């Protein structure tokens, strides 16, 4: 299946193990140089989109216990770096779907630092393919100039064909009005109506007995109870 937008940043990165220094255990930190290097890398998450994306990918590949340990380490080490707390947590939040860990990350971020306020608003793009299926793109701000991008093909009455998620993208590299994605010309569309259509597609997908793609669960706040319940979204 072709990539929905060209090409996913995932394909150009080295493996997360090569790009990302995983958190040092809280116990046994005997080499200050290693700790300094780890903290320097944490600081880079505020300005380096590739580092932030590598962090998101590495975290996404961990099991639940390892994710919990990463968060425990950040509770201490985020205080060692002079960047907004959201810079070290947002890459993790962008790929975390577990409600308890999402709440833990959100609590750790705390009130938004004015210096880290997103510099763009959420946007929706939509297009139609000759077969009648739709292409949707949701671009939601994270912090500074970073956004996350969800792209998918769907039919309101049937559900999803494919779903792609880029958790960290520099805003200037995100899809734009007038571009073609998988052959469809996408144009700006009101965000609420697009989310409502996607929420109906979520419901149709679930009713078909198919599992929802994990990427959609990251956007649970947008789609509300339709990820777990059976009530259709309001059309108002």
Q: What angle do CA 11, 13, 18 make, to 5 degrees?
A: 140
Q: pTM, whole model, 2 decimals?
A: 0.65
58 burial class (0-12, 13-18, 19+ CB within 10 angstroms)? buried
pLDDT in tens, 97-152: 899 999 999 899 887 665 556 667 889 999 999 999 999 999 988 877 788 899 99
CA distances from 189 to 34, 122, 126 (A): 48, 11, 6
Half-sphere exposure of 163 (CA within 13 A, CB side): 21
Spatial CA neighbour of 13 closest among 60, 67, 62, 49: 49
pLDDT in tens, 5-47: 332 333 333 333 345 566 656 555 667 787 888 888 888 888 8
């Amino acid at each position: 299946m072709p990539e929905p937008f060209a090409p996913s940043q995932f394909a150009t990165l080295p493996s997360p193990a090569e790009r990302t220094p995983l958190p040092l255990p809280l116990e046994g930190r005997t080499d200050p140089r290693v700790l300094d290097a780890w903290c320097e890398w944490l600081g880079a998450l505020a300005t380096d989109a590739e580092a932030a994306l590598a962090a998101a990918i590495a975290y996404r590949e961990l099991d639940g216990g390892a994710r919990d340990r990463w968060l425990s380490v950040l509770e201490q080490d985020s205080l060692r770096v002079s960047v907004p707390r959201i810079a070290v947590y947002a890459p993790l939040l962008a790929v975390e779907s577990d409600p308890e860990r999402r709440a833990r990350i959100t609590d750790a971020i705390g009130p938004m630092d004015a210096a880290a306020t997103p510099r763009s608003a959420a946007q929706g793009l939509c297009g139609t393919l000759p077969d009648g299926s739709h292409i949707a793109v949701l671009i939601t701000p994270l912090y500074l100039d970073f956004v996350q991008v969800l792209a998918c093909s769907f039919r309101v009455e049937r559900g999803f064909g494919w779903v792609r998620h880029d958790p960290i993208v520099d805003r200037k590299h995100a899809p734009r009005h007038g571009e073609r994605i998988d052959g469809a010309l996408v144009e700006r569309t009101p965000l609420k109506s697009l989310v409502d259509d996607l929420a109906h597609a979520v419901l149709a997908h679930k009713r078909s007995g198919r599992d929802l793609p994990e990427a959609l669960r990251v956007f649970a706040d947008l789609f509300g109870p339709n990820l777990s319940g059976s009530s259709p979204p309001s059309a108002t």
